[in-house]
C-alpha cells in the first residue's frame, strides 16, 4: 500500500495527490498536522530529515521531495503517463518545472505564506512583503503567457509540469492576489483547464 504523509492544505502535498488521482491509484493518507508542529516530530523527521512535507512509503520504499515523488509515481504506477515520451517534449517539461521552482514559486510563496501566517495569528499580512511576492511572479507569468498562446498545456498534453504550478496558482486565487494570473489571457485559460480537472478537485478536497 502506498502511504502519503502530508497535510491537506500543503502545496507540495496537493501536487502529489493530484498526480495520484491522475493515475487513479489508491493510497492511504496519513495526516501530518503543520499547525501542531507534527512535521518536526522525531517520527516524521525520520521519514523526512528536513522536517517538511510530504513524504511517501511505497511498500517499504520511502521518498521525499514532491517533484521527485511525482516523477516516481508517474513511472511506477499504471495509468496515463504524465511525462511526454518525445525527448524534446520531455526536456520542455523539465524546463517548465525548473522555471516553476526557480522563478515562480519562491516569490509566490513569499506572498502566500505571509498571508497564511498572519491569518493563523489573527493579524494582518505585511503589505510590502505581499506586494514584493506578487511583483516577483510577473516575469514568469509573462513567459508562461507567451508559451501558452498556442497550446492548452505547457507540453501540449497535461503533464507533471502543469501539476507543478497548480498548488501556487490555487493559493494565489484563494488569497485574492491572482490579478497577475487573471489579466494574462492565456495563463488564465490554462489555469481554468487545470483547476477544473477532477484530479485537482480531489487533491484540494483531501480530508485528514
Three-state DSSP at 195 gives helix
Nearest to 27 by CA among 38, 19, 37: 19
Q: Select from 169, 168, 176, 165 the least CA-distant residue to 119.
A: 176
- The domain segmentation of the chain, as residue ranges, is 2-82, 87-200
Tell me: pLDDT of 120 over 90.
no
Over the stretch 168-195, which tens digit does the pLDDT of each residue have? 999 999 999 999 999 999 999 999 999 9
Question: What are the backbone angles phi and psi of residue 113, rounded to the nearest 5°?
Answer: -65, -35
Question: Which residues on neighbouring strands pair with residue 157, listed in sequence order?
Answer: 155
What CATH number should be reported for the domain whose range is 87-200?
1.20.1050.10
Q: Identify the DSSP state of 6.
A: E
Pick the CATH number of 2-82 from 3.40.30.10, 3.90.1150.200, 3.40.50.10110, 3.90.650.10: 3.40.30.10
User: Collapsing DSSP states into helix, strand and coil, what is residue 155?
Assistant: strand
pLDDT at 66: 98
Please write the tens of the pLDDT for every residue from 60-112.
999 999 999 999 999 999 999 999 999 999 999 999 999 999 999 999 999 99
**pLDDT tens track for 64-78:** 999 999 999 999 999
Characterize 85-104 residue by residue with b for buried, 16 or more Cβ atoms within 10 angstroms of its Cβ, and e for exposed.
eeeebeebbeebbebbeebb
User: pLDDT at position 82, please?
Assistant: 98
65 contacts 40 by C-beta, under 8 angstroms: no
Amino acid at each position: 500500500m502506498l502511504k502519503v504523509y502530508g497535510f491537506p492544505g500543503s502545496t507540495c502535498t496537493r501536487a502529489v495527490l493530484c498526480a495520484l488521482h491522475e493515475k487513479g491509484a489508491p493510497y492511504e493518507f496519513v495526516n501530518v498536522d503543520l499547525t501542531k508542529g507534527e512535521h518536526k516530530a522525531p517520527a516524521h523527521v525520520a521519514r523526512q530529515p528536513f522536517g517538511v512535507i510530504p513524504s511517501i512509503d511505497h511498500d517499504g520504499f520511502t521518498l521525499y521531495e514532491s517533484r521527485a515523488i511525482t516523477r516516481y509515481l508517474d513511472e511506477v504506477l499504471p495509468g496515463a503517463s504524465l511525462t511526454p515520451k518525445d525527448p524534446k517534449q520531455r526536456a520542455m517539461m523539465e524546463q517548465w518545472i525548473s522555471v516553476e521552482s526557480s522563478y515562480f514559486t519562491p516569490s509566490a510563496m513569499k506572498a502566500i505564506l505571509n498571508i497564511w501566517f498572519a491569518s493563523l495569528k489573527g493579524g494582518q499580512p505585511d503589505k510590502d512583503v505581499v506586494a514584493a511576492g506578487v511583483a516577483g511572479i510577473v516575469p514568469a507569468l509573462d513567459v508562461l503567457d507567451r508559451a501558452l498562446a498556442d497550446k492548452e498545456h505547457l507540453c501540449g498534453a497535461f503533464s507533471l509540469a502543469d501539476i507543478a504550478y497548480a498548488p501556487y496558482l490555487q493559493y494565489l486565487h484563494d488569497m485574492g492576489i491572482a490579478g497577475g494570473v487573471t489579466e494574462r489571457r492565456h495563463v488564465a485559460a490554462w489555469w481554468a483547464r487545470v483547476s477544473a480537472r477532477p484530479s485537482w478537485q480531489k487533491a484540494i478536497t483531501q480530508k485528514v
